[in-house]
Structure 1
Amino acid sequence: MNLVRTLKNWRRYNETVRELSRLNNRELSDVGISRSDIERVARSAI
């Protein structure tokens, strides 16, 4: 069960990073984050 949870978290992290990375700097600023915050925000999503 722990392995399943770990894989789901890893997938959610990667999807979040991928989606946020597609945004340009203006769009990221509109949602209140900078490009350097993407990994932190993705970690908090899991």
Structure 2
Amino acid sequence: MFVTYILSQIRAYLRYRETVRELSQLNDRELDDLGISRFQIASIARQAAVA
């Protein structure tokens, strides 16, 4: 049970890092097209990690 929890937390963290990396590679115009400001990237990545 504890191992399953730890693995799910690791997977969530990896999803978070991947989302941050991908969104950070976009330029400001591409982010604007998506309706995202650069300062919102971490928040959006956190939401994506828990979904």
Q: Shorter-chain TM-score: which interval?
A: over 0.9
From 9, 15, 31, the equivalent of 2:18 is 15
Unaligned runs of 5+ in 2: none
Aligned to 1:43: 46
Residue type of the alignment partner of 2:36: I
Residue type of the alignment partner of 2:31: L
Q: Secondary structure at the match of 2:45?
A: helix
Q: Which runs of 4+ in 1 moved over 6 A?
A: none
Identity of aligned residues (%): 50
* Deviation of 1:5 (Å): 0.2
Q: TM-score, normalised by structure 2?
A: 0.88
Rg (Cα) greater in structure: 2
Q: TM-score, normalised by structure 1?
A: 0.98
